[in-house]
Chains A and B, each alone.
Chain A
């Protein structure tokens, strides 16, 4: 209570000095983040600020999440959100090329960014006495980025090289891209976040300027600050730095929902790789769907850890595979439940497929044992805790769940949801989602190199 009185006092002082309505601080309340407390603020211009004070180390994580990702692109312009993320480290009206990074490095800070289907985020990790530098730099590039031809051309080359590294010369990268392109026919999840190579190479500075003006606005962003910082120092600094940035009319999303898949899709990919790979992907639930946590638990029972059903059968007992793993995509709209299998050199995908089918049939017809359920829950609890070990990890969890679901403490709600799941729930989601007609199967076949491994050994 006393804390809130103090908070109101300095908030009023800051607002009395505010330069325009955009810089007004609005306190939106506290919410529990595990045993800690998250404070939610908003600026008059719509910028959301989430603060978690954590003084376990003298450092601060400063994350800027934008509600824009590759889902907001259109065919012919794929990869723009990601290219733009690269350009955000370039020149601004007040900072020459390279100065953004140099200033951060000089102050000991680490910085990077990431883009995916639903979001883009920028992160800094700073010594706590340097947090105002991140405030200043992030506000600067939210409004005064310079986008000119030489920089755009050079960064397109960098991104093309990133694509070669992550996709074109990486069998898993190519397979993943092909899987999503086949599984989705209408929804933007069908194109890769890094973009098709021809689109990357065709972008102009005008494309980038349009994108910047459309999506990089305070009312389309959330700043997350976790670490050894005081709200009364942080919030006025944020209000001052961002307050003059005008809000924008963010266009309504014009996304074609994916039509239900009624027929299984199969395809084959030939690559110079050591062994066959088999990807089986069912249409899965959206992250915000109550079934998402349940499907995640089902995936854990099947694929999580050495004691999981499919790891035991495929890798340990029958030695058909060297790797088997499952993942329920954590997207805002319904994504995929992906099952990735790497066959051993002497075995084939056709030997793995029936084992998967049998395992899927079993979870559709029988309930899993209590031991299996408990193991999966314990593993997911461990994974959830591991994601919260550092201030950066906490900031990422807060920013991700706030951006995708509007619920910054959802990480804890998920753990609670995992605890409540019963064996019957798993069977229900297995029946709902593990439907053969909704799956896409990709078979990666090795193209043998001229010098076979055995001969060269």
Chain B
């Protein structure tokens, strides 16, 4: 059976009456409909001491609505062949759902009701808080998650990007019904929402479906984006997160990265792909292919409304941790000092341009790109103009971006492992180390 080719790379946009934006990416490829209802603010707006509030507030939506108990809502979602989850990031929190296409109308009716008439029952709030706390405790089993949380709170200490979107045991326990109601009244309003619909929904019906979802919400105002630009503490620091009985370490090395509005943002993405973005990148070649020290070795640039981190990641055996970190730092310094070669740039441009087809091959992927543009304040052509922008990067621009943005002297290394086994050697592997500390793994 033949199917229509992708006609356009950008979803249809509709400005809804109440100030919300709707995006539609129709496709008959598979009888599924995806829907996103996202707020133009996220965990960065959580009040101090109430970290985790945005996530908790949206998770409460399926815990009670007028005429529906949490149990009835769960039963209804499952019986429609639907899934519904909350995704929380610093700049946005939203509901992400998918439903079998034949049940689209019934699911949208339900979701509209949940949005318009949440009841926030006290017992369900307490139940969700206990569940959230248990999830935080359970996440300590994952060394990678422990490393990421430690990096985030240390790299962005004192800044809203420094708190985990799920909060801490203490902050979640401190959240009360009034906090949730206040969040809902202030932020879950039409003018602060982006609705996305992708998949097997008729384009002519999409605006009506989107309007129906938000019909019960007040118009309101968009949430002000007053998050300040984060800054990096100077010097080289080492934080060892001590966890017993480890045979390897999780190593993250970070400095401040880029803002998508920086002129050298795309050149830095190109330069980073050379350094640690693919299987044949410098990091992977030296750490995995040549030495077998780590199953994975990569570097990535976070993208957000404000400057995010640039982070290297590897996970060597405990005895290889210090030499592996030392080598990674040498590779980093060589990258900053020497930049990237014309040959490397032209290779990675071919990769980035040609692989772009996999970022837009399904309707939900195209929708999520358009939503990211809205929620992260990206330039309107950030994704649609990706190929020409990547193609235009010169080796000189890529090298200049590294030198301009990556500060190898302001570096935070976070290592999860057995401190007694690795701490001294790790300290010796970081030249010009200004500060070193050890914390237990269950601090958060």
Contact = CB atoms under 8 A, between A and B. Distances in A.
Contact of B82 (A98, A323, A382, A391): A382
B100 A382 contact: yes
Contacts of B80: 378
B354 A59 contact: no
Contacts of B278: 101, 105
A98 B285 contact: yes
Interface in A288-335: 304-308, 312, 315-316, 319, 322-323
B361 A381 contact: no
B292 A161 contact: yes
A374 interface: yes
A88 to B, nearest CB: 13
Interface in B288-321: 288-295, 315-317
B357 A108 contact: yes
Contacts of B243: 272, 449
B294 A161 contact: yes
A111 B364 CA distance: 22
B399 interface: no
Contacts of A388: 30
Given A105-B279, A154-B292, A161-B292, A379 B127 contact: no
A143 interface: no
Interface in B237-252: 243-248
Interface residues on A, range: 35 or more
Contacts, number: 212
Interface in B58-101: 70-71, 74-75, 77-83, 98-100
B185 interface: no
B174 interface: no
Interface stretch (A68-76, A163-171, A185-193): A163-171
Interface string B334-367: 0000000000000100111111111011101000
A59 B361 contact: yes
B181 interface: no
Interface in B113-139: 127, 130-131, 134-135, 137-138
A273 B358 contact: no
Contacts of A59: 357-358, 361
Interface of B: 1-6, 27, 29-32, 70-71, 74-75, 77-83, 98-100, 127, 130-131, 134-135, 137-138, 140-143, 168-170, 243-248, 278-280, 285, 288-295, 315-317, 347, 350-358, 360-362, 364, 440-443
27 contacts: A55-B3, A56-B29, A57-B362, A97-B289, A98-B285, A101-B279, A105-B278, A106-B347, A108-B354, A108-B355, A154-B290, A155-B292, A156-B292, A157-B293, A272-B243, A306-B74, A307-B77, A308-B78, A312-B71, A322-B131, A381-B81, A385-B31, A385-B100, A386-B32, A391-B361, A450-B244, A451-B440
The 4 closest A-B pairs by CB, nearest first: A108-B354, A157-B292, A378-B81, A57-B361
